Chains A and B, each alone.
Chain A
Amino acid sequence: MRSRDGDRTFIYRFFFIIFFFSFALNASEYLISYRYVVKNSTLYNENLDISRAMKKCDGVEQEAISLRTDKEINLKKIISNNFEEFINYIHKLGLHIKHKDKTVNLEHTSTTILTLHTTCFKVDINDNLAKITPLK
């Protein structure tokens, strides 16, 4: 029998299902790209971009890394707290190298660009650890 306020259990179920599926579909997948530029043997620019995936990623799971969360649930903050460890891990994954060297009238300039192209990462955050797994 329906009450005057409507079928509350039905509404609760409906919102719970929507909330559950929205959480389960894409919440744990992130797109990460990294790029840094070295000019004349000096670091010139460094970019690490992190964003949530807007559609589900395909690919096989590769070697994962576990970072300490310190009760943090935001991935950007977790990575910034463990920046060096994560960057070393990205280097191991493989970087594209683009190097240009120019010598004009014995004057030398060089530019090296290292890039991790945008890659989808599956992220599982627990109380203590965040497990980050690349999908390729």
Chain B
Amino acid sequence: MKYSLLIVALLSTASLLNAFALSDLFGGSDDEASSLEATPAITPTPVSIANTPTIEPIMTPSSNNSNDNLLTQTQRVRVSVVGQGVSPMNTASPAQAYAMAKRAAIADGYRIIAEKVKGVRVEGQDLIENMMIKRSSVRTSVNAMVKNANIVETTYKDGLCEVEMEIVLSYIDFSL
């Protein structure tokens, strides 16, 4: 009888300690539990397991946001960029310098549009000898085809030409 009472007492203290340890690990205070309960649409889990960490409710709102960025049939996306170009040092006239800088700025604008819409390929390489970096290189490349881009505004100052360009993307451009 004595031993049985002792065993019961030991078991109860062990379970109490275990419960405290779990609550410390997961940070499950009463306030946090109530905050999780306040969003029933995100966490449909019952209250008894609210203290256990779940990843799904955290991912759900972000996945909804990513759906907002998708191109739908009724939606249009306007991409606006600013390309920069520099005039060469040896030009015959200021007009030629402006024309060449503008051409370079347009190419830069096209490049940025392609980067935003299609993406960039990035490759990096580090050469380390005797625990020291000897050569570090990063290469990026873009391959794309851009049509119907419009020039919105052109500014030229001190040999630098800035061209604001925009392109409107619609669902039908990609569905054909």
Q: Which residues of A are in contact with B by a Cβ distance under 8 Å?
A: 36, 38, 41-43, 46, 84, 88, 91-106, 112, 114
Contacts and interface: CB of A to CB of B under 8 A. Distances in A.
Contacts of A96: 143-145
A94 B139 contact: no
Contact of B103 (A43, A92, A94, A97): A43
Contacts of B108: 38, 41, 112
A114 B137 contact: no
Contacts of A104: 135-137
B144 A100 contact: no
Contacts, number: 89
B84 A105 contact: no
Interface of B: 84-88, 99-101, 103-104, 106-108, 110-111, 114-115, 135-149, 151
Task: State the majority secondary structure of interface residues on A.
Answer: strand
Q: Which 7 A-B pairs have the closest CB atoms?
A: A94-B147, A99-B142, A101-B140, A38-B107, A43-B100, A103-B138, A104-B137
A36 B110 CA distance: 13
A38 B139 contact: no
Contacts of A106: 136
19 contacts: A38-B85, A38-B107, A38-B108, A41-B108, A42-B86, A42-B88, A42-B104, A94-B145, A94-B146, A95-B110, A96-B143, A97-B146, A99-B114, A99-B115, A99-B141, A99-B143, A100-B141, A101-B139, A102-B138
